[in-house]
Amino acid sequence: MLDLCMAKPGAWADCPFGPEPICVRIGKRIFAEIFPGRSWVTLKCEPVYGLAMRARYPQAVRRGYHCPVPQHPYNNTVTLDGSVPEDTLLEMIDHSYRYALGSLTRAQREEALRRRPDGSTTQ
Protein backbone atom coordinates (compact mmCIF):
# COMPACT_ATOMS: atom_id res chain seq x y z
CA MET A 1 0.00 0.00 0.00
CA LEU A 2 2.79 2.41 0.89
CA ASP A 3 4.53 1.74 -2.43
CA LEU A 4 1.31 2.40 -4.38
CA CYS A 5 0.79 5.73 -2.63
CA MET A 6 4.44 6.77 -2.81
CA ALA A 7 4.43 6.16 -6.59
CA LYS A 8 2.22 9.24 -7.03
CA PRO A 9 4.09 12.32 -8.31
CA GLY A 10 5.26 14.50 -5.42
CA ALA A 11 4.18 12.03 -2.72
CA TRP A 12 6.14 11.94 0.53
CA ALA A 13 5.58 10.31 3.90
CA ASP A 14 5.93 11.19 7.56
CA CYS A 15 4.61 10.05 10.94
CA PRO A 16 3.27 13.18 12.68
CA PHE A 17 1.14 11.22 15.19
CA GLY A 18 3.78 8.75 16.39
CA PRO A 19 4.86 5.43 14.89
CA GLU A 20 1.55 5.05 13.09
CA PRO A 21 -0.14 5.91 10.93
CA ILE A 22 2.33 6.58 8.16
CA CYS A 23 0.86 9.65 6.47
CA VAL A 24 1.40 9.97 2.74
CA ARG A 25 1.09 13.55 1.52
CA ILE A 26 1.03 15.71 -1.55
CA GLY A 27 2.23 19.12 -0.45
CA LYS A 28 1.03 19.48 3.13
CA ARG A 29 -2.19 17.52 2.50
CA ILE A 30 -2.48 13.96 3.74
CA PHE A 31 -4.12 11.71 1.16
CA ALA A 32 -3.45 8.32 2.78
CA GLU A 33 -2.93 7.10 6.33
CA ILE A 34 -1.36 3.66 6.40
CA PHE A 35 -1.48 1.51 9.53
CA PRO A 36 1.33 -1.07 9.11
CA GLY A 37 0.24 -3.22 12.06
CA ARG A 38 -3.34 -3.37 10.84
CA SER A 39 -5.06 -4.32 7.61
CA TRP A 40 -6.49 -0.97 6.62
CA VAL A 41 -5.79 2.39 5.06
CA THR A 42 -7.58 5.71 5.46
CA LEU A 43 -8.02 7.69 2.25
CA LYS A 44 -9.14 11.27 1.68
CA CYS A 45 -12.36 11.58 -0.32
CA GLU A 46 -14.99 13.96 -1.56
CA PRO A 47 -18.01 13.42 0.78
CA VAL A 48 -20.48 12.14 -1.85
CA TYR A 49 -17.85 9.74 -3.24
CA GLY A 50 -17.08 8.59 0.29
CA LEU A 51 -20.73 7.83 1.03
CA ALA A 52 -21.05 5.94 -2.26
CA MET A 53 -18.06 3.74 -1.41
CA ARG A 54 -19.42 3.07 2.10
CA ALA A 55 -22.79 2.06 0.61
CA ARG A 56 -21.15 -0.13 -2.04
CA TYR A 57 -18.80 -1.92 0.39
CA PRO A 58 -20.45 -1.64 3.84
CA GLN A 59 -18.34 -4.40 5.39
CA ALA A 60 -15.02 -3.00 4.18
CA VAL A 61 -15.35 0.80 3.93
CA ARG A 62 -16.24 2.96 6.91
CA ARG A 63 -15.87 6.60 7.88
CA GLY A 64 -12.35 7.70 8.62
CA TYR A 65 -10.66 6.01 11.56
CA HIS A 66 -8.20 8.17 13.49
CA CYS A 67 -9.85 11.34 12.13
CA PRO A 68 -11.53 14.08 14.16
CA VAL A 69 -15.33 14.03 13.82
CA PRO A 70 -15.44 17.06 11.46
CA GLN A 71 -13.13 15.14 9.09
CA HIS A 72 -15.26 11.94 8.97
CA PRO A 73 -17.13 12.89 5.76
CA TYR A 74 -13.80 13.55 4.03
CA ASN A 75 -12.09 10.25 4.86
CA ASN A 76 -12.83 6.57 4.35
CA THR A 77 -11.05 3.74 6.11
CA VAL A 78 -10.78 0.70 3.85
CA THR A 79 -10.21 -2.80 5.22
CA LEU A 80 -7.58 -4.54 3.11
CA ASP A 81 -9.04 -8.05 3.17
CA GLY A 82 -9.74 -8.45 -0.54
CA SER A 83 -13.44 -7.58 -0.29
CA VAL A 84 -12.82 -4.34 -2.20
CA PRO A 85 -11.58 -5.28 -5.68
CA GLU A 86 -8.04 -4.17 -6.45
CA ASP A 87 -9.11 -1.94 -9.34
CA THR A 88 -11.60 -0.17 -7.04
CA LEU A 89 -8.94 0.26 -4.36
CA LEU A 90 -6.58 1.77 -6.95
CA GLU A 91 -9.40 4.09 -8.06
CA MET A 92 -9.93 5.14 -4.43
CA ILE A 93 -6.21 5.91 -4.04
CA ASP A 94 -6.28 7.95 -7.27
CA HIS A 95 -9.39 9.82 -6.08
CA SER A 96 -7.74 10.57 -2.74
CA TYR A 97 -4.57 11.85 -4.38
CA ARG A 98 -6.47 14.04 -6.87
CA TYR A 99 -8.76 15.37 -4.12
CA ALA A 100 -5.79 16.36 -1.94
CA LEU A 101 -3.87 17.79 -4.90
CA GLY A 102 -6.91 19.82 -5.94
CA SER A 103 -7.12 21.42 -2.51
CA LEU A 104 -3.70 23.05 -2.95
CA THR A 105 -3.19 26.46 -4.52
CA ARG A 106 -1.55 26.50 -7.94
CA ALA A 107 1.79 27.56 -6.42
CA GLN A 108 1.56 24.86 -3.74
CA ARG A 109 0.67 22.26 -6.40
CA GLU A 110 3.65 23.23 -8.56
CA GLU A 111 5.98 23.07 -5.57
CA ALA A 112 4.50 19.76 -4.38
CA LEU A 113 4.93 18.13 -7.77
CA ARG A 114 8.66 19.02 -7.73
CA ARG A 115 9.13 17.24 -4.40
CA ARG A 116 10.95 13.91 -4.28
CA PRO A 117 10.04 11.15 -1.79
CA ASP A 118 13.16 12.00 0.27
CA GLY A 119 11.87 15.55 0.77
CA SER A 120 14.22 17.30 -1.64
CA THR A 121 12.86 19.23 -4.61
CA THR A 122 13.79 19.43 -8.26
CA GLN A 123 14.42 22.74 -9.96
- For residue 109, the model assigns a pLDDT of 92
Q: How many CB atoms are closer than 10 A to CB 46?
A: 15
Are 94 and 86 within 8 A, CB to CB? no
Q: Is the pLDDT of residue 122 over 90?
A: no
Q: How many CB atoms are closer than 10 A to CB 22?
A: 20
Q: What angle do CA 64, 67, 79 make, to 5 degrees?
A: 30
Structural domains of the chain, with CATH: 2-113 (3.90.1150.30)
* Digit-coded pLDDT (tens) for 12-32: 999 999 998 999 999 999 999
**Cα–Cα distance, 113 to 107 (Å, whole number):** 10
